[in-house]
Structure 1
């Protein structure tokens, strides 16, 4: 496994995106455990993209404009939905003493959807990973699985770190509802911005 792969993958994972915003919101809302669960959900959302790359389905998405656009606009729609619910539901991003955390299943499901409907991940596995695969060898699928596993591990570690940092400042904003209102609006705007960027990409 090359250093170039690790450094480039780390740069891709560290760059803030939908998963980072989702994990930060979970950390601010309900603490470190919730942020770790959110990071796990986002990481599991990578599995279908990796499976598609291994089975060749990602090539179909890359060559079929219609298939790609369907996945892309489903992702855009979901991001706009998340932004709307974040603004509408004041408990979606609330810091309160003794607040009931979201169930792990619900958090993981939301995290999976955030990354599942992100066609950029499919393109990552199509355009980036093949550069590090042995060409013309039967072990290409196994090598892709190994590199994909590394990508997933880095995703979980980095996202969890983001979430834990958010959880660390949670108590400081506990008694500042105006701050949380501003954060909720920023998160919603972030989801809208990411959705618009995905739509025009």
Structure 2
């Protein structure tokens, strides 16, 4: 169950940049290290519904129902495009001051959580990913999946926190230039838009 193959594969999956990583980096750059931890926590929480759906077999609905999949997918696309627009328009997001930008922890966590909750591909991914590491003849399959899910979530949180902290270091060291600030803001906005378009054309 908790094999080296599972740990290595999970680490690779978590390290691959996606919407959660982009949001955590953006938050670490714009609002400081504490906010980046909230973002990492929100992104991790956003995984829970997908893991539970996989464990309960609900992903079969998304896999077989084109309407359910398309509906959730385009809500996610709309949210990513909204984030792209909001990031592009937020002229103060990357302003460097003596203190990090103050943002509500609940607000940051909610935005981060929604990023993952509204991605239907995650449910199908976990349904295909976790069962590969179930040990036949071991504890109940559901218990094994819960254990694997907990380990995956812990790794996600730890890696995202590191991403956020590195972004905060980058923030204090490099983005003193208004030109760099504008470049970063537009870069993150374009990335959110690109991820939204990628999800829009995703197939089940």
- In which range does the TM-score fall when normalised by the shorter chain? over 0.9
Ranges in structure 1 where 5+ consecutive residues have no aligned partner: none
1:146 alignment partner in structure 2: 147
Count the aligned residue pairs.
Answer: 201
TM-score normalised by the chain length of structure 2: 0.92
1:3 alignment partner in structure 2: 4
2:64 alignment partner in structure 1: 63
1:199 alignment partner in structure 2: 200
**Residues 55 and 127 in structure 2, CA contact (< 8 A), matched pair in contact too:** no
- For 1:2 and 1:138, locate their aligned partners in 2 and report how far apart those are by CA, in whole Å: 15
Cα RMSD (Å) of the superposition?
1.6
- For 2:15 and 2:164, locate their aligned partners in 1 and report how far apart those are by CA, in whole Å: 12
User: How do 1:28-47 residues align onto structure 2 when only pairs under 5 Å count?
Assistant: 28-47=29-48
Q: Which 10-residue stretch deviates more, 14-23 or 47-56?
A: 47-56
**Residues 61 and 68 in structure 1, CA contact (< 8 A), matched pair in contact too:** yes
1:106 alignment partner in structure 2: 107
- For 1:196 and 1:95, locate their aligned partners in 2 and report how far apart those are by CA, in whole Å: 31
Ranges in structure 2 where 5+ consecutive residues have no aligned partner: none
Is the alpha carbon distance of 1:93 and 1:66 closer, same or farther for their aligned partners in structure 2, counting shifts above 3 Å? farther
2:190 alignment partner in structure 1: 189
1:50 alignment partner in structure 2: 51
**Residues 32 and 100 in structure 2, CA contact (< 8 A), matched pair in contact too:** no
- For 1:30 and 1:38, locate their aligned partners in 2 and report how far apart those are by CA, in whole Å: 10
